[in-house]
Amino acid sequence: MAAPVLTPRAVDFPRWYQEVVAKAELAENGPVRGTMVIRPYGYAIWELLQAELDRRIKAIGAVNAYFPLFIPESYLRREAEHVEGFSPELAVVTHGGGKELEEPVVVRPTSETIINASFARWIQSHRDLPLLINQWANVVRWELRPRLFLRTTEFLWQEGHTAHATEPDAHELALRVLREVYDATMAEIMAIPVLTGRKTERERFAGATTTWTCEGMMGDGKALQMATSHELGQNFSRAFDITFADESGSLVHAWQTSWGASTRLMGALIMAHGDDGGLRLPPALAPVQVVVVVARADQGVGEAAAALVDELRAAGVRAEVDDRTDTSFGRRVVDWELKGVPVRVEIGPRDLAAGQVTVVRRDTGDKQAVPQAAAAAGAIERLDLVQQALLAEAISRRSAATVEVATIEDAVAAAQTGFARLPAALLLDGGERRCNEAGVSVRCLQAPDGDLPAAGDELDGLVAVVARAY
């Protein structure tokens, strides 16, 4: 059966990506450069991912709130490094209601400043801590080189902001988010393995003391920063006077964190799992997990397909029947493969006469005849297999495309096709700058065994992972 008309990934990966986003009906460009319209199918995937992240965020004790889109410009200027880091990306409103504003307002690029203004009012005593707040919102960062989902002027995300009585408490929370919310969701739900580690000073979030990151490998060997968790120290609490009375009655500045993941994760799903036929969605995030495609709706086939869908739905599976017989069977199959539906069941009159159906896995293309009575169980079994197989495949691909090197030059060469691991001490004396000049960046720092290093570890003894990146 012919594949959909997509540019092969090996020929032009960026064009393939753009075609998948368009033809799978995930998103399209908005009328203002850099903005996007997320189409219903794309948004359905985002809603499933959002729900998983939200559940895990609440499990660590955070609660959801909402803060204004507009931030007084003076708020951003309270933390010098923060405003300097974001200044090139800011969208600033100077007029409203037909008048020039007394003070310009910034369309939020991130909400540390406006949330911390609230924290200063809410926190008085050590009994008010820890305070863990999460926000689901849109943010705006003026993007010069937009690409749908990966880099857009406006995007959707969650941003967590917390305040703690001690530095160790803040450190522990930042790493819990990294492991229990982000790493776990990406591996268990998105089927994408990520490297977790610490950013270098050059790559650290503006205003943070330490930035922790999740880095995924995409299908072309490039890295994608998929989420970050920042330790802010007392930088913002001093700027916004967030103090509390400790048990002795002394006033102390709170220790803080912030952390976020965005619709960039949609881009990761496409690039990590997609093939030349389009999307390959992990079942956990597939709006349609099983599609039952009817070859002909007569001779009882339509009724059998509807009954199968009812059985699947009763078992908690997101299932649909495709009985659009005015469109060719082959065209419909190609369309469902393009959309990445994990399992397809095909039913026609001859199948029904033989008491069987054909069950197809999207990830491998494997087709098997299954007794009609066992069709639902067979489809459900394959959903679990597809979820596991996509993760295993991504792990294997990353392992095969990761090499150990001993020089900056070898790291730059290896990064053209994947990840390179090298002694982090080589980044000193201009090593990181030389990587950057060659279009390669340090994705994270790790302990030699791949575990997280301590927050303040020197580069000696650590490993740096470098790659080309989106």
Q: Is the peptide bond before 342 cis (omega within 30 degrees of 0)?
A: no
DSSP string, 181-250: IIIHHHHHTS---EEEEEPPTTTSPTT-SEEEEEEEE-TTS-EEEEEEEEEEETHHHHHTT-EEE-TTS-
Q: At which residue do the structure tokens 């916004």 appear? A: 240
pLDDT in tens, 75-111: 989 988 888 888 889 999 999 999 999 999 999 999 9
Short-list 446, 467, 464, 443, CA closest to 225: 443
Q: Rounded to whole angstroms, how far apart are CA atoms 282 and 389?
A: 9
Residue 230 pairs in a beta bridge with 211, 258
Q: Are 213 and 253 in contact (CB under 8 A)?
A: no
pLDDT value at residue 5: 83
Can you state the angle between helices 40-59 and 264-273, rounded to 10 degrees? 110
* CATH tag for 283-386 (out of 3.30.530.20, 3.30.2010.10, 3.40.50.2300, 3.40.50.800): 3.40.50.800
Backbone torsion region of residue 413, taken as left when φ is above 0, otherwise alpha when ψ lies between -120 and 50, otherwise beta: alpha
pLDDT value at residue 463: 97
End-to-end CA distance of the chain: 33
Q: Are 143 and 32 in contact (CB under 8 A)?
A: no
Topology of 402-467 in CATH? Translation Initiation Factor IF3 (3.30.110)
For the chain, what percentages of helix, strand and coil (3-state, to nearest 5) are there? 35, 30, 35
Residue ranges of the domains in the chain? 13-273, 283-386, 402-467
Q: Are 411 and 395 in contact (CB under 8 A)?
A: no
* CATH architecture observed for domain 13-273: 2-Layer Sandwich (3.30)
pLDDT in tens, 102-124: 999 999 999 999 999 999 999 99
Stretches where the chain sits below pLDDT 50 are 1-3
Strands 441-446 and 463-467: antiparallel
pLDDT value at residue 462: 97
pLDDT value at residue 298: 82
Q: Rounded to whole angstroms, how far apart are CA atoms 318 and 126?
A: 46
